Amino acid sequence: MSDLKQLEKSVGVKFKNIDLLRQSMVHRSYLNENPGFGLPHNERLEFLGDAVLEIIVTEHLFIKFPKTPEGDLTNWRASLVNSKMLCLVAQEVELEGHLYLSRGEAKDSNSKARQYILANAVEALIGAIYLDQGIKKSSEFVHKKIISKLENILENELYLDPKSKFQEKAQELYKTTPHYKVLSETGPDHDKVFEVGLYLSDELVCRGRGSSKQEAQVDAADKGIKKKKW
């Protein structure tokens, strides 16, 4: 079994019931190979932690920004609780080394699936903190590790997805709306790769790739923002 003392230290919580912390690290795949493990997987804790995280972030935004419209608050909240942000938090507290994974999942360390596993484990961790220590300690963790990133998000408009940000800048600076064109599709139906071009009028700004047209468009927009230094 993993020694969780280092994780407790990184998280900043001394658990009364260490099995809650351990359970938050248990992926479903591990129990398929270790049915006698003795603890359930972390999906129920993840369900709870998702709700705890959302109420803490929502309350903070509601109180801190009394004049900000609901639509903006929704975008800001989404930027704080999305899987990319939670994966970053997982890396900061060095959570990955404490995950209980199947042998197959343990090998596949660079996949998108691993990012989701890490993000889900952070939600499960928040659920475990809530059950063990209550809302006050959960709120301290969320403020320290997640809400603390809000200033940078607002300053750099990271709450806008790349397509929205590129479109806003293009309309502001070029008075035109960008458009996307599929340039190629490669690979079998179950594993296609799309390449799209991002255009301003007739100018091909850059190309993006992804496993769906939407993913390729987002990749192109992200590259376009960097290329235009927006």
pLDDT by residue (tens digit) across 88-143? 999 999 999 999 999 988 887 767 788 899 999 999 999 999 999 999 999 999 99
Nearest to 135 by CA among 38, 51, 16: 51
Annotation marks residue 123 as catalytic:
yes
9: Cβ contacts below 8 Å, ≥ 6 apart: none
Contact 149, 81 (CB under 8 A): no
C-alpha–C-alpha distance, residues 200 and 54, integer Å: 38
Which pLDDT value is given to residue 41? 97
| CA dihedral sign, ordered 173, 174, 177, 179 | negative
Which pLDDT value is given to residue 2? 64
Q: Tell me the one-letter amino acid at 151.
A: E
- All domains in the chain, ordered by first residue: 5-155 (1.10.1520.10), 162-228 (3.30.160.20)
Coil, strand or helix at 214: helix
Catalytic one of 46, 50, 105, 219: 50
pLDDT digits (tens, 9 = 90+) for 211-223: 899 999 999 999 9
Structure tokens at 79: 């930027």
CB-CB neighbours of 187 under 10 Å:
10
Nearest to 162 by CA among 111, 206, 102, 100: 206
Which pLDDT value is given to residue 164? 86
Coil, strand or helix at 193: strand
B/e letters for 135-164, b = 16+ CB within 10 Å, e = fewer, are: eebbbebbeebbbeebeebeeeebbbebbe
Work out the mean pLDDT of the chain and round it to a whole number.
93
Catalytic one of 8, 19, 92, 123: 123
CB-CB neighbours of 12 under 10 Å:
13
Task: Name the residue with tokens 């397509």.
Answer: 163
Task: Name the residue with tokens 């658990």.
Answer: 15
pLDDT digits (tens, 9 = 90+) for 141-160: 999 999 999 999 999 888 88
Residue 165 has pLDDT above 90, yes or no: no
pLDDT-based confidence at residue 191 (cuts at 50, 70, 90):
confident
Which pLDDT value is given to residue 1? 58
Annotation marks residue 219 as catalytic:
no
Q: pTM (2 decimals)?
A: 0.76
Structure tokens at 8: 């407790």
Q: In angstroms, how far is CA 41 from the centroid of its own chain?
A: 20
The angle formed by the CA atoms of residues 110, 114 and 120, to the nearest 5 degrees, is 155
Task: Name the residue with tokens 């704080």.
Answer: 80
